[in-house]
Amino acid sequence: MSLSLNQAAYFAEIIRGGLAKLRYTQIEAAEALALTTWQRFRLIVFPQVMYMVTPALMGQTTQLIKSTPVVSVIGLKELTGMGRAVVVSTHRPLLCFAWVAVFYFITCFALQIVAKQTEKINLRIMRGTGG
């Protein structure tokens, strides 16, 4: 719970920064098109902010995944803690922790790929060459 609340604050700050970076002229243009508040958010604000903040959100998510083994110290069960439980029952620590490491690597690597692809799309949009 405390890890979730801590990370929620970081995620909120990342999104707040993305909203602050959005140009007000975009919202004025949407108002000129007579879009409702919900349409402005859904069609103009949300896509642009998500393009801007997705790399940072992916980086923070990777940080969250890497920091979860710390909570096993205080007794909560997570991937590393479950690996320890499997080691106790199977007596194969190398195999168990190798699978845990592979899972962590695959998860973090996939998040990094998503972040890089989103960043490339974001750069193309900001340069005006399309998405």
Question: Does the domain made of 2-127 have the CATH classification 2.60.40.10?
Answer: no
Q: Which tokens in the block code for residue 89?
A: 């029952």
What is the DSSP-derived secondary structure letter of residue 95?
H
Residues 92-123, buried b or exposed e (16+ Cβ, 10 A)? eeeebeeebeeebeeebeebeeebeebbeebe
Name the residue type at position 12: A
Q: What is the pLDDT of residue 38?
A: 92
- Kindly list the domain boundaries of the chain, sorted by start residue: 2-127
Q: How much is the pTM?
A: 0.64
Encode the chain (131 residues) as per-residue pLDDT tens digits. 677 788 899 999 999 999 998 888 888 988 999 999 999 988 888 888 988 898 899 889 888 887 777 665 555 566 677 777 788 888 888 888 888 888 888 888 888 888 888 878 877 776 776 54
